[in-house]
Amino acid sequence: MKFGAVTLPDVSVPEWVRGRSSPKLLVGLGLGWLTLFFIAPVIVLFVESLNFGGGDLFANYRDALSGVYLETLGRTLYYALITTVVCLVLGYTIAYFIAFKAKRQFAMLALVLLPLWIAIIIRYFGVSLFFLPTGPVQQLFGTDFGVLFTTRGVVIGLVSALLPFAILPMYNSIQSIDDELIYASEVLGATPLYTLRTVIIPLSLSGVVAAALFVYILAAGSYLAPALLGGPADFMMANVIEQSFTYDLDLAATMSVVFTVTLLILIGLFNHYANISEVLSDL
Amino acid sequence: MLEVKNLTKYYDDLLAVDDVSFRIEEGEFATLLGPSGCGKSTTLHMIAGLVEATSGTVHLRGNDVSDTEPYNRNIGLVFQHSALFPHMTVKENLRYGLKMQEFDGDHDDQIAKYLEMVQMTDHADHKPGELSGGQQRRISFARALVYEPDILLLDEPLTGLDRVLREEMRNEIREIQQEVDVTTLSVTHDQSEALSMSDKVIVMNEGRKEQAGAPQELYEEPETQFVAEFLGQSTKFEGKVAANDPPMVRASNQEIQLASDIDTDRLDGDSLSLYVRPEKINISTAEKANGTSNTFVGTVSHVEYLGHRAELEVTLDDETTVTAFGNATEEYAVGDEIAVQFDPEGVTIV
Amino acid sequence: MMNRLRRLSFYPVLLVVYAILLVPVVVVIATSFTVQSSPTLPTNGVTLEWYNTLFQNFRLRNAMVVSVIVATATAILSGIIGTITAFGFVRSDIRAKETLATIMLLPLMISPVITGVAFLRFSSHLSIPRGLPRIVIAHSVLALPFVFLIVRSRLLTFDERLEDASMALGANKWETTVNVTIPIIGPALLAGMLMGFVISFGEFTATQFLITPQTTTVPIIIFNQIQTGLSPEVSALATTLVAVMIIVSVIGDRLG
């Protein structure tokens, strides 16, 4: 058997591997790995949330869906919503600019991608440093504008971290609109704003949907943003789950289920209005 | 020598290749000719082993290779878009086959020899991306031949090249093929390419083999309507048998006399298709037309000046269109009355 | 004129967005050089003393080593699994392909906290050794979707006729894959592994459940330092992290 410049003796590829490397098996490798180390653990966790042996199967859920925890769930979904809306608006503007008006698209895109290479924790750290008493904002203005350790801080942090995830898919879909469609619209007499509304936005919708999906899911599941930039009143589901893990495993498991199921329901609803698998396949 | 027997390919319910059989002798240059979708590429791919036949056999030099993998068939294949390995240099592309086939003989010598043959010696260390389309095509030939395969398969080798390049390469391919003396099967939809380059042409249509033979044979003596109409141009008359001795057919409100050795009793009396090639048609003014056999008078409906000749379309009373060639120096105008005449020997019946 | 005005109207938004994106990192890097004892902008002068302290901190050096080892292992592991799986998906005829492909993306949709908690419990059940093995496996799961997406996307645009050419030339399927397919999709493969490295290197949320006192990663240390007391040393540590990631990207770029 020859590999490039090297000729290996024919024993090097064992028969059992050669005979069994059909595509189905290859797929099985990745799915198998995930099933074993991801799906199974999660399912086990979910099972643990059910109160077997204690009579009431859903005993834990009563606790999980009450008072503080329910509030936290609501807060989480709400923060994620704000973050998503802000990211979509800002992100679309940037994506539009880069696609249509920028002279150096590559450089501008690279600057958007750059933060992705840097660990999220560092970016949150930077946001907090920015607004700390020792940071430039307070040094310059004397106040932190009510950002540190408040809701604003969390949202600013989330937006900062997740903007690239919004910009990229939206840029992608705006970019792929056929230039000729834009020209046609202009020639027919439409103002840029009208073209934007009636041609560009509808045609780039799949990118917007993808962006919304990514940002919402990532924002909702965020642990570090509330931990580093928020106050105790800003804790989101991820923080609560982590906290309860140390003293009440069942609660942690239950809340994990509640959170995941809620998210899945939301995604399902979303799917109803905007076919997600189409969107994902456009990627 | 290649022998294909009853080769058939179904894609689910779609019959792509329908019971095709033919044979090519050692050293012959044969072409599978047909319109898009006729199954010629699929047939080639089955011969190469890249597509599995539904039924039928392929024999190469006497060996049944129907179940052999492509990498064990010792074939050379030139792809429609060259398919050169972009990450390797020209030399490495050529070396690849030599290594994989474990070619007996000095690899460097072979590479040099074949690069020389396609006149690309200077580009040995370039990558395919640095070469023009024509140059890439040359390299893909060298790559296919360098390990001296049993047969050379060409998948639309001249498609995508501009006309000048195409004619250059046509000659070069033929020269190389004869120098190397390798059995070759080419696939194309371009008839002038097929007729000019091949020793043998196999015409295909809708998955079936229509006719196989030397180019001249196919052109002069088409055996099916499709071949008669696909190759070259001709005028088609539809008529009925009128008499037997001398053999006459009634078409376009006149009687056409056929070659004396044709026995009209054997033909399907009621609907016959007659074909006459334009080069067999003589044109003259209506007055000059005398009582010679097979003279029709009609009106010029279309003139195309091609430089070396004029192509005319003449419409007869019954709307039949006759295609004929005229002198480039004469002036023909649409609407002129003109007479077309042809000898009985020039009529082909299918 | 109108066009110029229109462009101008974008600038404020551009400024805000790029500021939001880039200022945080700039601040971190800048504060690592300050002469003051808390992380401020180095308006009074620059110094490398914090890097010095960092370098002498034994625990931190350890964490750095651990992070690099884990990230490299994750890159390789997720690279191999992701690529093989991508091949399977692109070259096969499985009916539920789209659904199965979505399953590959599940780790993205479930909060890393849940993944971390679940994996911790599960790995105790399975007696997976603490420390490095657990962290690497968990990271590989988190990185897998990215590698899979990137390689699969590249395979979909790969011209399969190059493989036909290779087979006509005498190479069997394995030889073809190794000599033709992999080298050509190499850059995508590398990009996927790079992603895996970066994701692993910066991972905190799931990792916090899986570390041991002996095996801890840099993001964990950064987090703890932030909670306990802020000094420019943390900025220096963070900046070092950034530097590593940039170096790795450059290396990856050169290799590709």
In whole angstroms, give the CA distance from residue A174 to residue C106.
27
Query: Same domain for B75 and B203?
Result: yes
Question: Domain containing B156 — which CATH number?
Answer: 3.40.50.300
Q: Does residue A42 lie in a domain region? A: yes
Flag whether pLDDT at A20 surpasses 80.
no
- Per the domain annotation, does A137 fall within a domain? yes
Asked if C168's CB is within 8 angstroms of B70's CB, the reply is yes
Give the list of residues 6+ apart from residue B127 with CB closer than 8 angstroms, or none: B86, B87, B88, B89, B90
**Which residue in chain C is spatially nearest to B143 when comparing CA positions?**
C169
DSSP result, A84-145 = HHHHHHHHHHHHHIIIII-S-HHHHHHHHHGGGGS-HHHHHHHHHHHHSTTSHHHHHHSS-T
Show the domain range for B260: 233-344
pLDDT of residue A88: 96
Same domain for B262 and B222, yes or no, is no
Answer yes or no: do B249 and B177 share one domain. no
- Count how many domains chain A has: 2
From B92, which residue of chain C is nearest by alpha-carbon distance?
C179
Amino acid at A187: V
Q: Does pLDDT of A3 surpass 60?
A: no
Nearest-by-Cβ selection for C169 from B69, B86, B96: B96
Distance, in Å, from the CA atom of B247 to the CA atom of B256, rounded to the nearest integer, reads 9
Chain A nearest CA to C64, separation (Å): 14
Q: Are B51 and B197 contained in the same domain?
A: yes
User: Hey, what's the torsion of the CAs at B74, B75, B76, B78, to 10 degrees?
Assistant: -150
Residues A245 and A145 in one domain: yes
Inter-chain contact A130–C103, Cβ cutoff 8 Å? no
Residues A45 and A133 in one domain: no
Same domain, A144 and A67: yes
Please tell me the predicted confidence (pLDDT) of residue B253. 81
Q: What is the pLDDT of residue A183?
A: 84
Residue A17 pLDDT > 80, yes or no?
Answer: no
What is the H or E stretch that residue B236 is in?
strand B235-244
Q: Where are the domains of chain C?
A: 53-255
Arithmetic mean of pLDDT, C27-56: 86
pLDDT of residue A268: 83
Largest interatomic CA distance in chain C: 70
Is residue A9 predicted with pLDDT exceeding 60? no
Residue A24 has pLDDT above 80, yes or no: no
User: Is A74 a domain residue?
Assistant: yes
Of chain B, the end-to-end C-alpha distance in Å amounts to 31
If asked whether residues A34 and A63 sit together in one domain, one would say no
Say how far apart CA C230 and CA B200 lie, in whole Å.
86
Q: Which of C27, C106, C66, C115 is nearest to A223 (CA)?
A: C115
Contact B141, B147 (CB under 8 A): no
At A275, the pLDDT band (50, 70, 90 cuts) reads: low
Closest Cβ opposite residue B100 in set C161, C164, C170: C170
pLDDT tens-digit profile of A31-54?
Answer: 888 888 999 998 888 888 776 655
> In the predicted model, is pLDDT for residue A280 greater than 70?
no
Which of A231, A218, A216, A199 has the alpha carbon at shortest distance from A270? A216
Nearest to B101 among C159, C164, C170 (CB): C170
Q: Which amino acid is at A268?
A: G
Q: How far is B82 from chain C (nearest CA, A)?
A: 9
**Distance, first Cα to last Cα, chain C:** 44
Q: How far is CA B116 from CA B141, B173, B249, in A?
A: 12, 14, 59
Q: Residue B242's pLDDT is what?
A: 81
C171 CB near a chain B CB, below 8 Å?
yes
- Please indicate, yes or no, if residue A146 is contained in any of the structural domains: yes
Please check whether residue C158 touches B, CB under 8 A. Answer: no
* In B101-222, alpha helices (H): 107-117, 133-145, 163-180, 191-197, 215-220
pLDDT at A21: 58
Burial B271-281 (b: 16+ CB within 10 A, else e): ebbbbbbbebb
Q: Give the pLDDT confidence score for residue A8 in this predicted structure.
A: 45
Residues B54 and B127 in one domain: yes
Please count the residue pairs, one from chain B and one from chain C, whose beta carbons lie less than 8 angstroms apart: 61
Q: What is the pLDDT of residue A11?
A: 35
Together in a domain, B181 and B258: no
Shared domain check, B262 and B222: no
Beta-carbon separation of C26 and A119 below 8 A = no
Domain final position from B181, B205, B228: B228
Q: Which residues contact B179 (CB under 8 A, 6 or more apart)?
A: B117
pLDDT in tens, C48-84: 888 888 888 888 888 999 999 999 999 999 999 999 9
Name the phi and psi angles at B248, rounded to 5. Answer: -130, 145
B173 and B286 share one domain: no
Query: What chain C residue is nearest to B74 in terms of C-alpha separation?
Result: C170
B72 contacts in C (CB within 8 Å)? 170
Contact list in A for residue C204 (CB cut-off 8 A) is 119-121, 223-224
The residue among A175, A163, A230 whose CA lies nearest residue A200 is A175
Say whether both A166 and A75 belong to one domain: yes
Clarify whether residues A209 and A185 are in a common domain.
yes
Domain C53-255 grouped into CATH 1.10.357.10:
no
**Does residue A213 have a pLDDT over 50?**
yes
User: Chain C contacts of B86, Cβ < 8 Å?
Assistant: 162, 184
- Per the prediction, chain A carries an average pLDDT of 83
Q: What CATH number should be reported for the domain holding residue B281? A: 2.40.50.140
Residues A9 and A104 grouped into a single domain: no
Same domain, B193 and B280: no
ipTM over 0.90: no
β-bridge pairing B183-188 and B29-33 = parallel
A 10 A CB-CB count for A255 gives: 29
A258 token code pair: 């509640």
Average pLDDT estimate for A246-273: 85
Asked if residue B89 is part of any domain, the answer here is: yes
pLDDT at A10: 39
SS3 B204: strand
The mean pLDDT value for A76-102 works out to 93
Q: Is A18 on the interface with C (CB under 8 A)?
A: yes
| Shared domain check, A127 and A74 | yes
pLDDT of residue A54: 55
Q: What is the pLDDT along chain B (350 residues), one digit of tens a residue?
A: 899 999 999 998 899 999 999 999 999 999 999 999 899 999 999 999 999 999 999 999 999 999 999 999 999 999 988 889 999 999 999 999 999 888 988 999 999 999 999 999 999 999 999 999 889 999 999 999 999 999 999 999 888 788 888 888 899 999 999 999 999 999 999 998 999 999 999 999 999 999 999 999 999 888 898 998 899 888 888 888 888 778 888 888 888 888 877 777 777 767 788 898 988 888 887 766 666 778 888 888 898 888 888 898 988 888 888 888 888 788 888 888 888 888 888 888 87
**B210 & B265 share domain:** no
Q: How confident is the model at residue A94 (pLDDT cuts 50, 70, 90)?
A: very high
Task: Give partners of B (≥3 CB pairs < 8 A).
Answer: C
**Does A261 lie at the interface with C, CB-CB under 8 angstroms?**
no
Predicted local distance difference test score (pLDDT) of residue C184: 93
Statement to judge: residues A181 and A270 lie in one domain: yes
Confidence (pLDDT) at B264: 75
| Residues β-bridged to residue C219 | none
Domain end (from B166, B198, B228): B228
In a domain, B350, yes or no: no
**Are A164 and A241 part of one and the same domain?**
yes
Name the DSSP letter for residue A52: T
Residue A81, pLDDT score: 96
Q: Decide if C164 touches B, using CB distance below 8 A.
A: yes
CA dihedral over A94, A96, A97, A98, signed as positive or negative: positive
Q: Which residues pair with B297 in a beta bridge?
A: B339
**What average pLDDT does chain C have?**
89
Nearest to C104 among A30, A134, A163 (CB): A30
Considering the domain architecture, whether residues B247 and B98 belong to the same structural domain is answered as no
Domain that holds residue A10: 2-49
Is residue A14 a part of any domain in this protein?
Answer: yes
Q: How many helices (H) and strands (E) does chain C have?
A: 12, 0
- State pLDDT tens for residues B259-292: 877 777 777 767 788 898 988 888 887 766 666 7
Nearest Cβ partner of A112 from C21, C25, C27?
C21
Q: Write down which residue in B203, B228, B253 finishes a domain.
A: B228
Q: How many domains does chain B have?
A: 2
Within this chain, do residues A202 and A148 fall inside the same structural domain, yes or no?
yes
Please tell me the predicted confidence (pLDDT) of residue A277: 61
Is A54 inside any structural domain?
no
A26 and A67 fall within a common domain: no
Using CA of residue A25, residue A30, residue A31, residue A35, what is the dihedral sign? positive
Q: What distance in Å separates the CA atoms of residue B28 and residue B184, rounded to the nearest whole number?
A: 6
Q: Do residues B217 and B288 share a domain?
A: no
Nearest to B5 by CA among B45, B68, B59: B59
| B205: in domain | yes
What are C105-163's pLDDT values in tens digits? 889 889 999 999 999 989 988 888 999 999 999 999 999 999 999 999 899 999 999 99
pTM, rounded to two decimals = 0.81
Q: Is pLDDT above 80 for C4?
A: no
Q: Which of residues 135 through 164 in chain A touch C, CB cutoff 8 A?
A: 135-136, 139, 156, 159-160, 163-164
